């Protein structure tokens, strides 16, 4: 590792630390319905949304009603995007004259953007029209992110309230998250991106003549508007197939840094929202600290192995200044490793380099980040509610150690909450490992691989981990646009989203109905270094025990084989 690379990583982390409190303070006021500096401008829009939807702002919902509203909205969103793709050839704003998307790919894409996964089995610039990109994908980028925030806030209310049955109103939380947080930030960021060279137009694709006399088609379109919410909403679905490695999406190192800041901005702020709403900001900072430990451990591991490069080149007598394969020269090794870690910590899925070209253990970091359950800051909302799930498990383990009923932020953690947490965890792990195992022996699935051996298995495992973790990034080297992968990855995304969220909403309803218990000398403190260590250990141990057998057959064994001179 170089001093400059370490400095870049530390500067990034300090910037995230600096924006966490102000962002959290603002979001707390938004979800509490309090007046903010945007209130005079956006309050009429908020009221209009309630009037058009027939929503009574003051009426709150039980967890079953909240979950029902979530599912109804998600089904409706899915159907809209599916139909848009199937009738694409009949719609305007289609200068490239793209036809209808196939049923299996339309299903996969509609599920992907509805669940905030944004996995792309297609090449964006050669598959989807401007209208579908804007009215379909970009709209879902806003709503799926707002849904994540709503679920996180509902779970926080479960901890913050006592002896009540309601955990908020889904429609109100959805509108406020979209109108007061995502829209203003996206507008400012899109304008900034345009100023830096990210394109935004509705022009026909340009045909250019190269120096060799060949013709080349240069795709363009409304990129900046999608790029902003892609990052802020931890969506990750790029306008171009190369995603944030494409110069039209990510033209400069400054844009690259701002994109990474946008990915962590809201997830980091939500930790402060949690501390504020439960009445003890130390609880929020403890969650932030646990996430930070995991983030820093991952990024420096990835950076170290990428900077070390391929030992085979050293054995051949070639000087190695690090592994630059699959990376953009304008970003370099340090910020490529940082971007890969950030995007998989936050279930974003955007990439500025190809993870398939990372060294085996460098590529292990983004894979394991996804597999621990998008808890390292995580997706918008999803990171916090996933980490709170692990907090429930951590205090349960602590309670078993001392023979005492576990408590967390004043609420007793009993069998229902632990069972719901386990249902959420096991369902996601099960579907990832099940489909990965089947795909590794099914001829029609293995035929999509460009690599054999452990590297090929890593490509399969990464794809289903990305889908189950609602991340959306791809290891590449796998042609996923087949009926098998489109359907199984789509099912994995649905399980990873809804069989995770619904148990947590049930836990939120149970917690809200309980009364707070007084702090005594026997209460395990959950705001200090001991709890942070226990929480980090719980995340790592659960992830390691679940996925170590699979990981040992993929990146780990590939690393040792590389040391012996074998590549795949």
* Residue 43 CB contacts under 8 Å (≥ 6 apart), including other chains: none
Secondary structure of 277-308 as H, E, C letters: HCCCHHHHHHHHHHHHHHHHHHHHHHHHHHHH
Average pLDDT on 367-385 reads 90
| Residue 73 confidence class, pLDDT cut points 50, 70, 90 | very high
Per-residue tokens: 493: 């995304």
Per DSSP, helices labelled H in 355-452 are 360-371, 382-402, 415-439, 443-446
Decide which of 476 and 231 is more confident. 231
Per-residue tokens: 353: 């380099």
Residue-level pLDDT at 400 = 83
Please say if the pLDDT value at position 186 is more than 80.
yes
| Residue 318 confidence class, pLDDT cut points 50, 70, 90 | low
Residue-level pLDDT at 55 = 93
Please say if the pLDDT value at position 320 is more than 80.
no
Residue-level pLDDT at 491 = 96
| Residue 467 confidence class, pLDDT cut points 50, 70, 90 | very high
Q: Considering the chain, what is the average pLDDT of its residues?
A: 92
Average pLDDT on 298-304 reads 95
Secondary structure of 113-178 as H, E, C letters: HHCCCCCCCCCHHHCCCHHHHHHHHHHHHHHHHHHHHHHHHHHHHHHHCCCCCECCCHHHHHHHHH
Residue-level pLDDT at 319 = 58
Q: Give the whole-angstrom CA distance, residue 344 versus residue 367.
A: 8
Percent of the chain with pLDDT over 90: 81
Residue-level pLDDT at 106 = 96
| Residue 500 confidence class, pLDDT cut points 50, 70, 90 | very high
Per-residue tokens: 327: 């990376």
**Spatial contact of 251 and 328, defined as CB atoms under 8 Å apart:** no
Look at the pTM and tell me if it is higher than 0.85. yes
Residue-level pLDDT at 546 = 92
Percent of the chain with pLDDT over 70: 99
**Spatial contact of 340 and 365, defined as CB atoms under 8 Å apart:** yes
Give the tens place of pLDDT for each residue, 342-375.
999 998 989 999 999 999 999 999 999 999 888 8
| Residue 401 confidence class, pLDDT cut points 50, 70, 90 | confident
**Spatial contact of 198 and 224, defined as CB atoms under 8 Å apart:** yes
| Residue 16 confidence class, pLDDT cut points 50, 70, 90 | very high
Please spell the DSSP secondary structure of 294-358, one letter per residue.
HHHHHHHHHHHHHHH--HHHHHTT-------TTB-TTTHHHHHHHHHHHHHHTT----SB-GGGS
* Residue 65 CB contacts under 8 Å (≥ 6 apart), including other chains: 170
Residue 292: how many CA atoms within 13 Å on its side-chain side? 20
**Least confidently predicted of 123-127, 317-321, 417-421:** 317-321
**Spatial contact of 432 and 492, defined as CB atoms under 8 Å apart:** yes
Residue-level pLDDT at 563 = 86
Q: Give the whole-angstrom CA distance, residue 258 versus residue 251.
A: 12
The residues with which 449 forms a beta bridge, in sequence order, are: 478
Average pLDDT on 280-294 reads 96
Average pLDDT on 485-498 reads 96
Please say if the pLDDT value at position 149 is more than 90.
yes
Per DSSP, helices labelled H in 447-525 are 453-468, 483-512
Can you tell me whether residue 204 is helix, strand or coil?
Answer: coil
Q: Give the whole-angstrom CA distance, residue 544 versus residue 504.
A: 23
Q: Terminus-to-terminus CA distance in the chain, angstroms? A: 26
Q: Give the whole-angstrom CA distance, residue 400 versus residue 404.
A: 7
Average pLDDT on 101-110 reads 96
Give the tens place of pLDDT for each residue, 506-528.
999 999 999 988 887 778 889 99
């Amino acid at each position: 590792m170089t001093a400059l690379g370490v400095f870049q990583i530390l500067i990034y982390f300090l910037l995230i630390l600096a924006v966490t409190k102000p962002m959290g303070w603002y979001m707390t006021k938004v979800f509490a319905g309090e007046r903010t500096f945007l209130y005079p401008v956006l309050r009429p829009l908020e009221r209009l949304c309630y009037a058009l939807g027939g929503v009574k702002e003051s009426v709150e919902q039980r967890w079953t009603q909240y979950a029902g509203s979530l599912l109804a909205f998600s089904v409706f969103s899915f159907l809209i995007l599916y139909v848009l793709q199937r009738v694409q050839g009949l719609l305007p704003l289609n200068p490239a004259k793209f036809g209808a998307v196939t049923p299996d790919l339309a299903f996969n894409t509609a599920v992907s953007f509805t669940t905030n996964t944004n996995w792309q089995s297609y090449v964006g610039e050669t598959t989807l029209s401007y209208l579908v990109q804007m009215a379909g994908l970009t709209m879902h980028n806003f709503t799926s992110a707002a849904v994540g925030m709503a679920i996180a806030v509902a779970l926080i209310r479960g901890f913050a309230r006592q002896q009540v049955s309601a955990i908020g109103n889904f429609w109100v939380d959805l509108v406020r998250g979209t109108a007061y947080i995502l829209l203003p930030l996206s507008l400012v960021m899109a304008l900034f991106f345009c100023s830096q060279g990210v394109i935004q137009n509705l022009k026909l694709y340009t045909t250019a003549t190269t120096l060799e006399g060949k013709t080349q088609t240069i795709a363009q379109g409304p990129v900046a508007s999608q790029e902003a919410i892609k990052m802020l909403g931890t969506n990750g679905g790029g306008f171009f197939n190369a995603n944030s490695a494409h110069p039209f999406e990510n033209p400069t190192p400054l844009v690259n840094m701002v994109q990474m800041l946008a990915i962590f901005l809201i997830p980091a702020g939500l930790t402060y929202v949690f501390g504020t709403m439960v009445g003890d900001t130390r609880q929020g900072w403890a969650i932030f600290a646990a996430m930070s430990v995991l983030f820093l451990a991952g990024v420096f591991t990835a950076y170290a192995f990428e900077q070390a490069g391929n030992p085979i080149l050293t054995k051949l007598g070639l000087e190695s200044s690090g592994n630059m394969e699959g990376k953009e020269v304008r970003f370099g090794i340090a910020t490529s490793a940082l971007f890969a870690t950030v995007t998989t910590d936050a279930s974003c899925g955007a990439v500025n380099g190809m993870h398939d070209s990372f060294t085996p253990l460098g590529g292990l970091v983004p894979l394991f980040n996804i597999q621990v359950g998008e808890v390292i800051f995580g997706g918008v909302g999803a990171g916090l509610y996933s980490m709170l799930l692990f907090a429930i498990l951590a205090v349960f383990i602590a309670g078993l150690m001392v023979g005492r009923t576990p408590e967390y932020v004043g609420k007793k953690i009993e069998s229902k909450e632990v069972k719901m947490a386990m249902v959420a965890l096991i369902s996601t792990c099960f579907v990832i490992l099940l489909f990965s195992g089947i795909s590794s022996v099914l001829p029609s699935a293995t035929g999509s691989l460009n690599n054999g051996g452990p590297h090929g298995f890593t490509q399969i495992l990464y794809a289903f981990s990305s889908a189950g973790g609602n991340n959306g990034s791809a290891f590449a080297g796998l042609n996923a646009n087949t009926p098998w992968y489109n359907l199984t990855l789509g099912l994995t995304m649905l399980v990873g989203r809804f069989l995770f969220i619904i148990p947590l909403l049930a836990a939120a309803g149970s917690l809200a109905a309980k009364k707070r218990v007084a702090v005594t000398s026997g209460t395990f403190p959950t705001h200090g270094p001991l709890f942070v260590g226990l929480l980090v250990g719980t995340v790592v141990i659960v992830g390691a025990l679940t996925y170590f057998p699979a990981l040992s057959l993929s990146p780990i064994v590939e690393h040792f084989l590389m040391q012996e001179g074998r590549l795949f």
